[in-house]
Structure 1
Amino acid sequence: MREDVAGHAAPAPLGATLPGPADRKPSEIPSRTQSVSAFLLGRASVGPPLLRRSSLCALPRLSHISARVLLFVCGLVTVAIGPAAADDSKEVKEVVKKLQARYEQTRDLKADFKQSTKIEGFATPITSRGRMYIKKPGRLRWDYLDPAVEEIYVNENEVMMYVPEHKQVLVGKLTQMAASQAPLQLLQGVAKLEEQFALEPTAGGKRGEGGVPLVTLLPKDTEPDSVRTVARIVLEVQPKTFFIKTLSIHEISGNVSTFEFNNLKPNTGLKNALFDFETPAGVEVVKAPALSPP
């Protein structure tokens, strides 16, 4: 396997077969293993999304949980606490109330992020950095800047995933990827996480910056085991602004992906043009297959 200039394993070209975890050393795992595009594919810990034909076939397996995670990061959906969780911790209820109020007031948002993915069986985490842009209703741009460039665009129902290194862009629709619920509704902020998640204080009463309690989201059993990948999601919020500071996704497989957000700037008047992708000359457009969900 060849390596890029940063010493990370360079992604295989489209159609190549990557070795399984048992055959790879930590340095050989693709550096963008846990990208947001993988969220949209419902493959939170599988290799680069548009670099293998097999990953295209996974598009219809869009994980509802993964989509909800993405939109929760974006602050475009709301969450509520059930009675049992409220009894366990009034603090957690107050944290979520303030977090929800903050995102309801947010028309657009830009932030830097750092992503770290710990893969079960490997000691060395995979890290990447970039910037995200969000604008209501339904617009998202997620740019990976290091160790390599990847761009992901969501415009309501349209999804585009671009890897300049491979001169390819994957184009699809959220509705053709969804199995039973339209992520488009989540992007538009009309769905609630309470229907899919139970909310409770984090085990051990752990707290984050400023002593604010961490919050755990537990997926309800709304999906068959064959497609369910997320065991729990842990949130830390900023004590003054109540924006999400860190979000950790704990998978059933044992993998853990953590996103840390900083330099958050809300309501700066982001232009629509920022979220528009123009396919460069010489770039291959790969359309996501409209297959029936398994």
Structure 2
Amino acid sequence: MQSFYDGTTDLVCKFKQTYVHPVYGTRTVSNGDLRLKKPGMMVWDYEGKADPDFYVDGQKLWVVEHDTRQVVSQKVEGNSNLAGAMKFLFGGQKLIKEFKVRMAPEQPTKSYGMPGHKVIELKPKEQNPHYKSLLLIVDDLTGRVDSFVVRAQDNSTNHFVLTDVASNQNLAAKDFKYAVPKGYVETRQ
């Protein structure tokens, strides 16, 4: 896994997200496109207008809510939740420094495993208010993460399955900048 991410400068793929909240008994499925570029740039472009899109240019995060025509923006620096997610998505040595890494126990492996993949569990060394663990479903041959699960403190789960993955596509940094469209209101945090 380490060598795959060390050799990856950018990545594009499609994703399917399944959010399950056990307390409310809800299950929501969303689809979209994901683009990542080192250092610290990403775009989560959801298909549905009810789902917000996320843009990160390495310095700033924009959350675009199309249904309310609102954009919430904030600096990446100091946002520990976003910083943790970016470290996980970009792989690297920081994973071992900030997470306890082990092979996942039997139950999550049964629930989320895929043929030809290993399930790795990451638990933050310092407690995080947003999530208690992450599961990475890693291809045995390439070391690429083809699926991942964010397990929240409230026992809800966000399961992402990545498809049509292509790396090192020479994505331009300008494609990660976001300009607030006319008619949208921006709120800075």
How high is the TM-score relative to the length of structure 1? 0.56
User: Where does 1:33-182 land on structure 2 (aligned, <5 Å)?
Assistant: 99-146=1-48, 148-178=50-80
Contact 1:153 1:161 in 2 (8 A): yes
Alignment gaps of 5+ in structure 2 = none
Q: Could you tell me how far apart the structure 2 residues matched to 1:279 and 1:233 are?
A: 32
**2:139 — aligned with what?**
238
Q: Is the 8 A contact 2:49 2:66 kept in 1?
A: no
Per-residue deviation, residues 44-75 of structure 1 (Å, max 9, x unmatched): xxxxxxxxxxxxxxxxxxxxxxxxxxxxxxxx
How far 1:152 sits from its partner (Å)?
Answer: 1.2
The amino acid of 2:114's aligned partner reads E
- Identity across the alignment (%): 24
Distance in 1, Cα, partners of 2:91 & 2:132: 24
Q: Distance in 1 between matches of 2:28 and 2:9?
A: 32
Among 132, 147, 162, the alignment partner of 1:261 is 162
Q: Structure 1, residues 188-223: CA drift from partner, whole Å, max 9, x if none?
A: 988612232111121128474344331111222x23
1:100, distance to aligned residue in structure 2 (A):
1.1
Residue 216 of structure 1 aligns with an amino acid whose one-letter code is E
1:107–1:135 contact (8 Å) kept in structure 2? yes
Distance 1:152 1:130 in 2: 11
Runs of 4 or more, structure 1, over 4 Å off, are 185-191
Structure with more strand by fraction: 2
> CA separation in 2, counterparts of 1:147 and 1:127?
13
1:254 partner SS:
coil
AA partner of residue 44 (structure 2) = W
Distance 1:126 1:144 in 2: 13
1:163–1:169 CA contact under 8 A, matched in 2: yes
> Per the alignment, do residues 159 and 215 of structure 1 end up closer, same or farther by CA in structure 2, a change over 3 Å counting?
same
Counterpart amino acid of residue 55 in structure 2: Y
Say if 1:188 and 1:100 are closer, same or farther in 2 by CA, change over 3 A: closer
Cα–Cα, structure 1 residues 182 and 164, in superposed 2: closer, same or farther, change >3 Å? closer
Higher relative contact order, structure no. (Cα contacts within 8 Å, ≥ 6 residues apart): 2
Residue 121 (structure 2) pairs with residue 216 (structure 1): yes
The AA in structure 2 aligned to 1:104 is: D
Looking at secondary structure, tell me which structure has more helix per residue.
Answer: 1
Check 1:191–1:239 CA distance in 2 against 1; reply closer, same or farther (3 A cut): closer
- Unaligned runs of 5+ residues in structure 1 are 1-98, 289-294
- Residue type at the aligned position of 1:215: I
